[in-house]
Amino acid sequence: MRGSLAGAAAVVAGAQSSAVAHGTLRRGAGTGLRWFGVNSWELSFDGRTVLIDPWLTRFSTRGPDGRFDPATPLSVDRATIGRNLGAADLVLVTHGHYDHMGDVPHVMERFPGARVVATQTHAHLLTAMGAPADRIIWAHGGEYLDLDGFTVQVLPSLHSLSTGYRYFAPGTLTAPPRRVHTVADLVEGGTLAYLVTTGSGLRVLNIGTANLIERELRGLRPDVAIVAVPAGRHTHRYLERLLDALGAPPLVVPTHHDAMDTPLDRPVRADADALRSFRDTVHRVNPRATVVEPRYLEAVTL
């Protein structure tokens, strides 16, 4: 998948490359995209690096009985982060769960110039974890940030629904907690989505959870839509509604579809049926779309 987007698309069975052939994405020449699993992404362009939910530690949260253990201690794999992240100017946090925000304080420590966009709850959690408060940009959703050469639109969003139509580890904070030691301490704290527009005009959207607020997405028309693979059937026609609201984006990339408790050097991907269903849905809504399934650590040039 290294090299041109056309080359990347060619390895995807059944993918349509018309968006590339018609030049829809050529204005983004030189923009790089890398996936670290879950919803962890690196977007590089014009000498800038934007990270989305950078979580590379990927530890197991299973207890002795094989079930999820909310008392699992938080940990940071500094070596893996050091090997794989070379720069960061901005970090975008979609929500506060451990698999999205657990490594962010260390990323801020490693890259002292990096700022973070996050909700009030996320900011309080990060501060309790030792992150410098003056480098956190508080966001509610609706902000349109001018970042000297590129922009970020912050969009209100929703977390995926789980069994019983419930949200996983919900919660909000109005002050930093006394301690953040376990995965249960990292509550959702609100969910955001992001539209990054590079200096060349390429528009890259990230929706890291399988849910949406349709009215917040209408009219955005991103060139690249990185969207979570549907999680169950609790949200009615999530993917179809999302693609319709976005105006059928020409390039669609699945995210948050792998087994997230395996090391980055030995990852386990989602089952083929889930990805096949994702591709089929995208092409049913927009037969001309290109679907690119990311491979761990391999760069795609847009």
pLDDT in tens, 63-119: 999 999 999 999 999 999 999 999 999 999 999 999 999 999 999 999 999 999 999
Q: Which residues pair with 73 in a beta bridge?
A: 182
- What dihedral do alpha carbons 7, 288, 242, 256 form, nearest 10°? -20
Nearest Cα neighbor of 77 from 106, 97, 100 is 106
Nearest Cα neighbor of 224 from 27, 10, 7 is 27
Q: How far apart are CA 153 and CA 114, in angstroms?
A: 18
From edge to edge, which strands make up the β-sheet containing 144-146? Answer: 144-146, 151-157, 191-197, 203-207, 224-228, 251-255, 290-291
Q: What is the mean pLDDT of the chain?
A: 90
Token pair of 285 as six digits = 């809504």
Average pLDDT (230-238) is 89
Question: Structural domain tally of the chain?
Answer: 1
Contact 295, 12 (CB under 8 A): no
Would the pLDDT of 23 be above 90?
A: no
Q: How far apart are CA 88 and CA 85, in angstroms?
A: 8
CATH of the domain at 118: 3.60.15.10
Do strands 224-228 and 251-255 pair parallel, antiparallel, or not at all (unpaired)? parallel
Phi-psi region of 215 (alpha: psi -120 to 50; beta: other; left: phi over 0): alpha
Nearest Cα neighbor of 230 from 200, 274, 196 is 274
pLDDT in tens, 258-295: 989 899 988 887 778 889 999 999 999 999 999 999 99
Residue numbers of the domain that contains 273 = 5-301
Q: What angle do CA 242, 243, 247 make, to 5 degrees?
A: 120
